[in-house]
Amino acid sequence: MQSPLTIFVFNQNPFRLSEEEYHSPETVLKNYFELFGPGETNDILTSVQTEALTNPGSPYSAVSERMKVMSCFTELYRLIEAAFVISQKK
C-alpha cells in the first residue's frame, strides 16, 4: 500500500511534514511554539500583512485581493491561537 505522504497533491494536503510528523502533528505544534510564541507570531504576521497591503509594488493592489489577504490573515491568527491551545494540552 502506498504511503499517504506519497499521494499528496499541492494545495490539498500537507506536503512539508515528515511521515513521523504526519502521524504525530502535535510534535510540530510543540516545536513551533518553542521557537515562536503567540505574541511573536502575531507580530510577524501583522508585519507581513501590513507590507503586503501597503507596498505599492504588491500583487494585492486590487480590492478583492486585499480582502482575500485580510481574510486569510484573520483565519491564520485564529489557526495559530487554536494550535497554541492544542500544543498546551499535550
What would the pLDDT profile of 5-39 be if each residue is shown by its tens digit? Answer: 555 566 677 788 899 998 999 999 999 999 999 99
Question: Cell for 64?
Answer: 478583492
Rounded to the nearest integer, the mean pLDDT of the chain is 86
Is position 9 within any domain?
no
Question: Count of domains in the chain?
Answer: 1
For the chain, where are the alpha helices, taking DSSP H only?
A: 19-23, 26-35, 38-54, 63-89
Is position 3 within any domain?
no
Tell me which residue range forms the domain holding 30: 26-89
Is position 41 within any domain?
yes
Is position 12 within any domain?
no
Is position 13 within any domain?
no
Cα torsion angle, 82, 17, 89, 33, sign? negative
Residue 89 pLDDT: 84
Is position 80 within any domain?
yes
Average pLDDT over residues 46-64: 90
Is position 68 within any domain?
yes
Is position 37 within any domain?
yes
Residue 1 pLDDT: 47
